[in-house]
Amino acid sequence: MSGNTFGKLFTVTSFGESHGAALGCIIDGCPPGLELSEADMQRDLDRRKPGTSRHTTQRREADEVKILSGVFEGKTTGTPIGLMIENTDQRSKDYSKISEQFRPAHADYTYMHKYGVRDYRGGGRSSARETAMRVAAGAVARKFLEQRLGIRIRGYLSQLGPIKAEKLDWDQVHQNPFFCPDADKVAEMEAYMDALRKEGDSIGARINVVAEGVPPGLGEPIFDRLDADLAHALMSINAVKGVEIGAGFDCIEQKGTEHRDEMTPEGFLSNNAGGVLGGISSGQPIVASIALKPTSSLRLPGRSIDVHGNPCEVITTGRHDPCVGIRATPIAEAMMAIVLMDHYLRHRGQNGDVSVSTPVIGQL
């Protein structure tokens, strides 16, 4: 299968470039009977939308999604859901210079090698603009999971450059422009970002995503483990360079007696596993963490080469996020929703609906 489809039963196939006519996707395999309207998706799209604070790009993207099919009388019909966002803020711009240069740390050089041609307007297909469709599709999955299974998926920014959130207060997450769950760190982050913007530089970030209420049993052992598919999904987000499940890299220095999550009839005593054992959900919260690199679209000049192999200096003008991680929380949530949705349907296909014939235990 081609690389623009994600999922096996709940599949999302997307199209669209940064500066093309429109972005869109087709969701195939959505169960019928789910109430769905544009508003369900718009809420998450608005959380991802640029320009909501001074800390993200000031580009205007209305990001208004339209449902073109698959919904009848307010409910999904089980047939493919076609979604589209028309591109509205395509400033006419002079691309003559950038069209011959490879911006360092961008996909320009690699697209050129792969295809022999590239759409250089705003990064074309390699632009993170594409993630809007992930968010839209994820909103459909999220709604189903919430309504039918009581699953809640939430994310937050746990680190912005050197500044780490030290508290996890879910109520704070939407009270600041960073999705930061620690109110005490917000001012520090604001100051950091203001300084960074002046400098013209960019910075990395870490996002955590948690799914609560996931029934035990989801995930296909061996290659399509739930955690492996999550890693696939999360690493496929632009700028992500690392993925952890549960204890993640900390497990390197853990002893077995420390890492293993003991069980009692009242529940698991810890969650180093991050809710996945042997590739299958355990009923504990699914916990993932990702690292996002700093954007490379900088007005500070960088050395590079042009299409003729000559050295050049590249300056990226235009409106860019100094920390792409800031807007990534809804995207990570969306990808987790899509993975869980897909695995729920896969599980139901092979094994019938999730059941509780075996004792289900929670987390103490």
Residue ranges at the known binding site for FMN? 125-127, 238-239, 278, 293-297, 319
- For the segment 243-272, give every residue that binds a second copy (CB under 8 A): 243-265, 269, 272
363 binds a second copy (CB under 8 A): no
Q: How many CB atoms are closer than 10 A to CB 115?
A: 10
- For the segment 8-67, give every residue that binds a second copy (CB under 8 A): 8-9, 11, 13-17, 20-26, 28-33, 66-67
Q: Measured from the CB atom, is 124 or 171 closer to a second copy?
A: 124
Residue 237 is given by DSSP the state: S
Q: Measured from the CB atom, is 234 or 340 closer to a second copy?
A: 234
| Minimum gap (Å) between residue 23 Cβ and a second copy | 8
In contact, 152 and 144? CB cutoff 8 Å: no
As given in the structure block, the two tokens for residue 261 are 């999550």
Amino acid at residue number 178: F
| Minimum gap (Å) between residue 168 Cβ and a second copy | 17
Q: How far apart are CA 41 and CA 307, in angstroms?
A: 40
Q: Measured from the CB atom, is 187 or 235 closer to a second copy?
A: 235
| Minimum gap (Å) between residue 232 Cβ and a second copy | 4
Q: How far apart are CA 208 and CA 244, in angstroms?
A: 9
Q: CA-CA distances (angstroms) from residue 16 to 102, 167, 174, 187, 220? A: 21, 38, 29, 37, 31
Q: How many CA atoms are closer than 13 Å to the CA of 300, on its beta-carbon side?
A: 10
Size of the site for a second copy (CB under 8 A): 163
Nearest Cα neighbor of 156 from 310, 34, 342, 329 is: 329
341 binds a second copy (CB under 8 A): no
**What stretch of H or E contains 331?**
helix 329-351
Q: How far apart are CA 104 and CA 316, in angstroms?
A: 10
- For the segment 66-85, give every residue that binds a second copy (CB under 8 A): 66-70, 72, 75, 77-82, 84
| Minimum gap (Å) between residue 326 Cβ and a second copy | 13
SS3 212: strand
Query: Which of 41, 189, 210, 234: binder of a second copy (CB under 8 A)?
Result: 234
Q: Measured from the CB atom, is 171 or 257 closer to a second copy?
A: 257
As given in the structure block, the two tokens for residue 206 are 């870490």
310 binds a second copy (CB under 8 A): yes
- For the segment 93-152, give every residue that binds a second copy (CB under 8 A): 102, 104-107, 109-119, 124-126, 130
Cα dihedral 129, 134, 50, 186 in deg (nearest 10): -130
| Minimum gap (Å) between residue 165 Cβ and a second copy | 12
**Annotated binding site for NADP(+), which residues?**
48, 54
- For the segment 174-193, give every residue that binds a second copy (CB under 8 A): none
Q: Measured from the CB atom, is 116 or 171 closer to a second copy?
A: 116
Q: How far apart are CA 140 and CA 147, in angstroms?
A: 11
| Minimum gap (Å) between residue 195 Cβ and a second copy | 11
In contact, 271 and 285? CB cutoff 8 Å: yes
213 binds a second copy (CB under 8 A): no
Q: How far apart are CA 78 and CA 97, in angstroms?
A: 47
Query: Which of 241, 317, 318, 362: binder of a second copy (CB under 8 A)?
Result: 241
